Amino acid sequence: MRDLQVGLIGLGVVGTGTFEVLRRNQDEIRRRAGRGIAVRMVSRRDVAKAREIVGDAAEVVADPMTVATHPEIDIVVELIGGVERARELVLAAIGAGKHVVTANKALLAVHGTEIFEAARAKGVVVAFEAAVAGGIPIIKALREGLTANRIEWLAGIINGTTNFILSEMRSKGLDFGSVLAEAQRLGYAEADPTFDIEGVDAAHKATIMSAIAFGVPVQFSRCHVEGISSLQAADIRYAEQLGYRIKLLGVTRRRQHGIELRVHPTLIPATRLIANVEGAMNAVVVHGDAVGTTLYYGKGAGAEPTASAVIADLVDVTRLHTADPDHRVPHLAFQPGAMADTPILPMSEVVTSFYLRLVVADQAGVLARITGILAEHDISIDAVLQRESGEGERQTDLIILTHDTVEGRMDAALAQMQALPTVLAPIVKLRKEELK
């Protein structure tokens, strides 16, 4: 059987990794796929650089649309990133009857519904394992391995750049800027690193996982997004004293009246395996009603780990190429006619426990007043820590951990506390997850 012909659009970190791993492991891949997978054509803005990478092994073209629609290409691999141009290319490839493999989570989180519908209408596959947690086969696990389960919740460290920054800040006491520069040098960061730092990249991935876990459309605009840029070193330290690590988590959870979908810095008990995921590593915890809690860990970024996922998709598509489209695994795990319209809940209805840090006047009655406000709102306290104030110091830090409550109720209590004359600075509010 002739080799399946691949067109590679974008030959940067992931594109180059994909080209190299495909070449290095071609015999092993052929033994698994049942036929060869050959990169026939590549496109990169810098054509000379692309020629340097692929040599005579593939044709190099300047215009990516040539690759997307070329009659001899069976599968188009989109690895340029960004949204608008990538959308045009992917839709053109689908329109020309090509299967598509992409690592582009931004594209799918924003335009997934349109793209999956176009693919369904054409009977082609859009595969995207590399888009979520890079080399970890989490899409495969959610869509196939856990298919017996009613998934209750999942939570993940799904951005390597921010986990690297948080780990380095905690363990080496380094400042934010120097650690970010190092993450960029290592090829983990997005082209625009604010996507990493402000939680947007993690939100793209959480949105995609939420859709697959619950059979709902991808709805990036409904995801609550907070990053790590305003996280303070003091809170990392206090959390540690209380037995917690702070991680940027993507969380999605089924509730009675809707789905929670959120990304924010989160306290996790230091004893959980996921709390000990350090550096650029990723991990996702998934809780299914039958299987219980499962954990997936590995490299979520970098050239070859991401290539590993891209090529796994290429092999899947190769095997499914001749299958009846109705017998393939649905793009979002559930049959297109069986998707639910369960709403994404507003943050005011999300239920979590909280970490609060208040800078308060060091005088009698302050603690009683604050705990009184929490009691008035029916919020129960799990732990309290007060920093010993220094000689002559007139203020101190008060840290409170609460039990689960609805966020709207917590915000009402916080507004009351913030108005007290003895509360001297904006209150820090972080969410806490037990992940049991």
Ligand X SMILES: N[C@@H](CCO)C(=O)O
Q: Which residues bind ligand NAD (CB under 6 A)?
A: 9-15, 43-46, 64, 79-81, 85, 103-104, 130, 134, 187-188, 190-191, 301-302, 306
Residue placing its CB nearer to ligand X in the complex, 38 or 186 = 186
The answer to whether residue 140 is catalytic is: no
Nearer residue to ligand X within complex by CB, 64 or 250:
250
Residue entry with tokens 């380094």: 174
Contact residues toward ligand X (CB under 6 A) are 134, 159-161, 188-190, 196, 201, 300-301
Half-sphere exposure of 266 (CA within 13 A, CB side): 22
Which of the choices ligand X, Na ion, ligand NAD, none does residue 129 contact, using the CB cut-off of 5 to 8 A by kind? Na ion
Asked if 93 is part of the footprint of Na ion (rule: CB under 5 A), the reply reads: no
Q: Which member of 205, 247, 299, 432 is catalytic?
A: 205
From the list ligand NAD, ligand X, Na ion, none, partner contacted by residue 44 (C-beta under 5 to 8 A by kind): ligand NAD
Which residues, in sequence order, are CB contacts of 382 under 8 Å at separation 6+?
A: 353, 401, 402, 403
The CB-of-322 to ligand NAD minimum distance in angstroms stands at: 28
Buried b (16+ CB within 10 A) or exposed e, 326-360: eeeebbbbbeeeebeeeebbebeebebbbbbbbbb
Q: From ligand NAD, Na ion, ligand X, none, which one binds at residue 379 (CB under 5 to 8 Å depending on kind)?
A: none
Strands 244-254 and 259-269: antiparallel
Is position 133 an interface residue for Na ion (rule: CB under 5 A)? yes
In which residue are the tokens 């239920």 written?
A: 351
Closest CB to ligand NAD among residues 188, 334 = 188
CB of 122 to Na ion, least distance (A): 24
> Closest CB to ligand NAD among 104 and 353?
104
Distances (CA, A) of 432 to 53, 204, 294, 404: 46, 21, 20, 9
Question: 189 φ, ψ to 5°?
Answer: -75, 155
Q: 429 among the known binding-site residues?
A: no
Q: Which two tokens stand for residue 280?
A: 């650029």
Among 13, 154, 303, 309, binds Na ion (CB under 5 A): 309
Instruction: List the one residue out of 205, 215, 303 whose CA is nearest residue 263.
Output: 205
The annotated binding site for L-homoserine is made up of 190
